[in-house]
A and B are shown apart, each in its own frame.
Chain A
Amino acid sequence: NSTEANSLLLRQQFVGKVQFALFDTHSQASKKLLVATEKNIFASLNSRTGDLFWRHVDKTGPDGHINTLMMHGQDAVVVVGNGRLLRSWETTVGGLNWETVLDTGSFQSAAYIGVQDVVRYVAVLKKSAISLHYLSSGHQKWVENLPESDTVQYQTVYSGGNGQVFVLGVVPNSHIVIVEYNIEDGEIMKQKSVAAPWLSSLQSSCVMVGSGVLLCADPTTKSLYTFPLQSADQTTMTPILLESLGVEVAAGFQPVLISTQPHPARPPLSEFFLQLGPDYHILLQLKDGLVSTLRDFNPSYLVAFATTGEKTVAAVMSPKNETVSILFILSNSDPFHLHTYSVIRANGSNASVINLYSADTGRRLLDTTIIYSMDPNGGKPAKLYIHTFLKKDDSVGYRVLVQTEDLVLTFLQQPGRVVWSREEALADVVTMEMVDLPLTGTQAELEGEFGKKADGLLPMVLKRLSSQFILLQAWMSHLWKLFYDARKPRSHVKNEVTFETLSRDEFNLQKMMVMVTASGKLFGIDSKSGTVLWKQYLENIQPNSVFKLMVQRTTAHFPHPPQCTLLVKDKDTGLGSLYVFNPIFGKKSHISVPALPRPILQSLLLPLMDQDYSKVLLLIDDQYKVTAFPSTKNVLQQLQEMASSIFFYLVDSSQGRLSGFRLRKDLSTELIWEVVIPTEVQKIVGVKGKRANEHVHSQGRVMGDRSVLYKYLNPNLLAVVTESTDSHQERSFVGIFLIDGVTGRIVHEAVQRKARRPVHFVHSENWVVYVYWNTKSRRNEFSVLELFEGMELYNSTVFSSLDRPRPPQVLQQSYIFPSPISTLEATLTEKGITSRHLLVGLPSGAIVSLPKMFLDPRRPEVASDQSREENLIPYSPEMPIRTEWFINYNQTVSRVRGIYTAPSGLESTCLVVAYGLDIYQTRVYPSKQFDVLKDDYDYVLISSVLLGLFFATMISKRLAEVKLLNRAWR
């Protein structure tokens, strides 16, 4: 039924790391928050709930990059794709007002141009041209080439609202160029240059302050420079030494200037912030060419300006211990040590406070404190956005949006209540695993009883009785809870998931999803409700790190806790580090992790276990030496015994080399094979082995004549996909190699001519499915390779790659697929009895569950009796997409990057998680729910019929006895 179906579907939508955020201040009641993110997304959030009003997902890569976001009234202007497109959006429903294609040239900046308090135009500055567009229609008013654009780097466009357009450029370490344009026809009115030999970039060190004053900061001389743009005679900048303001400047000073222009048709305010250090800001004012200090904020993390009506305020986030120490001064009567204690605690709790200050005086506004307590497992705050509004008594009220380093968006209101928060790190999931939930406490108690050693008869009986009593108690409380919940209205019963209620369900359908995101934040998400149960931010993760997540110990080994290991490799240094944690509770494990002094090339999780049931992880460094983790004596002994049968392979895509190694007893390795695919011709796109937890139930396929065609199930087989370096459509090709990973023997190779990337492939059981772009016919094609051993098995008891005298039979067939695809994965079930489906993620956001039956190279061209007996569908080149194959209905998953499949406790059911920009979780039933009674199964009827029959039998038996007895007496 539909409610059941809805509860199984779970989609969460994200936007990614926020680059620009603007609150709609057009009307007081507005709850819109516009965000433009690094994921090329322009979206509107509900500032009351944090939900998405609408979201526009642009192209990935630089083509869809949002360069700037400006808002005026109801409309937002966005420049996209390095100045390629200028768009205006209506913000209430997210409709496009207009779109203009701009001339080529790299984008520098854009600004609203106002005339007499009305914003009419938007100016876009490119590297060598400036263009002015009407705000109402997007039509171009004029476009002008910039003078000497090959030597001058034009970076800023400015208008004070009085009918002029200034374009500022810089010749690095020489001078500043200021060009003034006529707003009507784009004629150059004035052009002058100002010497500035210390300046290299306007954007990083200059702002416009007050009525057209250019203000620059110079770190070497530790001074500020001012220059009024309109001045007719001045040709040099006026220096102001920072020391003259009474400001102590430390060495390595990197100044950042922050100014504000509340209305685009009016000049900016004359107050501005100067950031002197990472935690040090001062509020300054420029008046009549003189700079004066309004207030000194030391320490302060973040500052921001905000305007409502005519009032502009400055918000400052500072650590909380300062206020605590103020408290200490205020209340002197208490014993001293208690206060020092409280100060230390405030430091430890990482709380900070945000206060509002009047921008023009620097005075603190009363009752404007927001306490922001940082997540101990999270990152530091990185960006601060202020939403101000006027209260009824004309004072300024405000709410704050804080973005932290771990991409949490938190919206707070006074006095520190979190209105909502969003985990935007989940927009970039890199890898994930699903871990079984633990048994409940009572189940664990019983397990523990059988696990322990026997210590006498009586204690055992007592223990059994006590555990039975605990079970009874749990059952009673469960009954009571059921009864209690039943009395409440249905909507009030919340299925809140906490660690206490977290336990494995009957069919193991609810699991813990452990997700690793690119920002280095780990999440533990309950798969049933989608709630984030734990999160952990790993600091100092480089942006281009590689992650590999492994489950070393599952929940099956009570009382040992489950254990996951994350290998993080820094791409630049090549050094790896291990992070070991409990996947259920997210706690970092205290197990000592081996030091990895050398760059790590690969890791290998062995099926061997140490005495604590944790699987052995081998880490291969750049000298092909192996480090084992855990490396107890027991493990090392096992490794020595097994060494000759442990192999691993490495693929170096840049050199086109595949190499195989064998482990030696001293944990060094020897090279046993090498395959070189010349990089001049083709390059390796991907390598896939088989999944370790994959089970194949049937060893062969039954033919129409009821003989068996045995599958070639080589667990060591690798599928290597290559692509030609020549991308000409006639000569490009896609190659596929099936290589035995132990011996290096090329089992099969196939070349798909006139084919090109993107190539996606899946390798499972005895088949490989790959998708490519056919350049000749200009369409996407599926191709399937299946390997068979033949009509008899070579060796049915053991499989050794070293003893395979006969090559397998390979069958191949190709099909046309009517859509491009973005990712490909195969379903996985507990025992592998259920038929397989392919899960295809489409760029449209749909996920198609495609039966593998359609991708079968044994599909005959002409149907015969035998093929009908075998249920083979006659071959047709077109692969249909049936609407009932879409497993996510209308819940599209944007930019699917990967699909993760996991078996559940039910053989018919496979758990599916699609991740990308969104996260979508569901279940699929490739062979329908053959092991589950249907929803409409009539228990009452069946059981009443059974009971009725039972009683009828009893009664008639008795009657028959009586009758027999009577007859005997007659």
Chain B
Amino acid sequence: MSSPGGQGGALSTRGAAGPRRMKWALELSLGNTRGRGDRQSKDGDVMYPVGYSDKPVPDTSVQETDRNLVEKRCWDIALGPLKQIPMNLFIMYMSGNTISIFPIMMVCMMAWRPIQALMSISATFKLLESSSQQWLQGFVYLIGNLLGSALAVYKCQSMGLLPTHSSDWLAFIEPPQRLEIMGGGMML
């Protein structure tokens, strides 16, 4: 939010302090009014510019909106996966249960996105750190992703890609060992 002029001014001040000499310098120090931390650190014998009021401007209302925004933003992140679900359901319905390249690609994407999200869940939690309802949001986020992956699994199931039937394990059944030896035939 700082103006380029102000920054330039700030730079030139530091430049004056350095080895490079200037003919003249004007310091408006506008930038410092913005950065609260800066002002606190550089407080003291700094000359206040024209129109400066020592009393802090009551900007609490703005800060309130910010917090709400953050909160809102966090909820957006947390509810993201859940919002995906109706869309996924629609795609699922459209792609059908036949096994061909497009439905397989859809299913892969559907399955991969929640898994990816779950894998990077710590990063997402960091994003949510600023929110007051961090745990609730994290939980909702987790639930959403789990639901998403459950949906993918359900899709796989309905497409018959999951080895949930006994027929899927048929190939692994070994022929039983025979206990008796038998032979013979018609009398020669």
Contact = CB atoms under 8 A, between A and B. Distances in A.
B96 to A, nearest CB: 15
B35 interface: no
A799 B184 contact: no
Given A698-B171, A707-B167, A715 B178 contact: yes
B188 A604 contact: no
A606 B180 CA distance: 11
B133 to A, nearest CB: 45
Contacts of B170: 698-700, 702, 708
B160 A706 contact: yes
Contact of B176 (A620, A703, A797): A797
A606 B184 contact: no
Contacts of A702: 167, 170
B162 to A, nearest CB: 11
Interface string A675-689: 000000000101101
B186 interface: yes
Contacts of A707: 165-167
Interface string A298-337: 0000000000000000000000000000000000000000
A646 B178 CA distance: 11
A879 interface: no
Interface string A709-748: 0000101100000000000000000000000011000000
A120 interface: no
A659 to B, nearest CB: 9
A796 interface: yes
Given A698-B171, A699-B170, A707-B167, A798 B188 contact: no
A707 B166 CA distance: 6
Contacts of A802: 179-180
A697 B174 CA distance: 8
A652 interface: yes
B182 interface: yes
Interface string A791-820: 001011111111000000000000000000
B187 interface: yes
Contacts of A645: 179-181
Contacts of B167: 700, 702-703, 706-708
A651 B188 CA distance: 9
Contacts of B176: 713, 795-799
B186 A569 contact: no
Contacts of B47: none
B65 interface: no
A607 B188 contact: no
Contacts of B166: 706-708
A687 B175 contact: no
A720 to B, nearest CB: 10
B177 to A, nearest CB: 5
Interface in B145-167: 160, 165-167
B183 A648 contact: yes
Contacts of A600: 188
A546 interface: yes
A579 to B, nearest CB: 15
B180 A798 contact: no
A716 B188 contact: no
Nearest to A803: B179
A699 B177 contact: no
B188 A546 contact: yes
A604 B185 CA distance: 9
Instruction: Give chain A's interface secondary structure class.
Output: strand
Given A702-B167, A706-B167, A707-B165, A602 B181 contact: no
B183 A799 contact: no
Contacts of A653: 186-187
B187 A647 contact: no
Contact of A699 (B160, B175, B180, B183): B175
B173 interface: yes
A576 B181 contact: no
Given A687-B186, A706-B165, A708-B167, A716 B177 contact: no
Nearest to A569: B188
Given A707-B165, A708-B170, A602 B184 contact: yes
Interface string A689-707: 1000001111110110011
A247 interface: no
A343 interface: no
Given A696-B175, A698-B171, A651 B180 contact: no
A602 B171 contact: no
A741 B187 contact: no
B188 A799 contact: no
Contacts of A799: 176-179
A689 B180 CA distance: 14
Contact of B180 (A548, A608, A647): A647
Nearest to A703: B167
B179 A604 contact: no
Contacts of A642: 181
A681 B175 CA distance: 39
Nearest to A695: B175
B181 A646 contact: yes
Contacts of B177: 797-799
Contacts of A689: 182-185
Contacts of B188: 546, 548, 567, 569, 576, 600-603
Given A653-B186, A707-B165, A606 B173 contact: no
A650 interface: yes
A569 B187 CA distance: 11
A900 interface: no
A446 B178 CA distance: 35
Given A699-B170, A713-B175, A796-B173, A742 B180 contact: yes
Interface in A598-654: 600-608, 620, 642, 645-653
- Centre residue among B160, B165, B166, B186 by max chain A CB count within 10 A: B186
- Centre residue among B173, B184, B186 by max chain A CB count within 10 A: B184
Nearest to A743: B180
Interface string B76-97: 0000000000000000000000
Contacts of B173: 699-700, 793, 796
A601 B182 contact: no
A648 B186 contact: no
Given A698-B170, A798-B177, A715 B187 contact: no
A604 B184 contact: yes
Given A706-B160, A799-B176, A602 B182 contact: no
14 contacts: A546-B188, A548-B188, A642-B181, A645-B181, A649-B185, A650-B186, A652-B187, A689-B185, A695-B175, A698-B170, A706-B165, A716-B180, A797-B177, A801-B180
Given A645-B180, A708-B166, A796-B176, 10 more contacts: A605-B183, A646-B180, A647-B181, A651-B185, A699-B170, A713-B175, A713-B176, A716-B182, A796-B174, A800-B178
Interface of A: 546, 548, 567, 569, 576, 600-608, 620, 642, 645-653, 684, 686-687, 689, 695-700, 702-703, 706-708, 713, 715-716, 741-742, 793, 795-802
Interface of B: 160, 165-168, 170-171, 173-188
- A-B pairs with lowest CB-CB distance, top 6: A604-B183, A706-B165, A649-B184, A648-B184, A702-B167, A799-B176
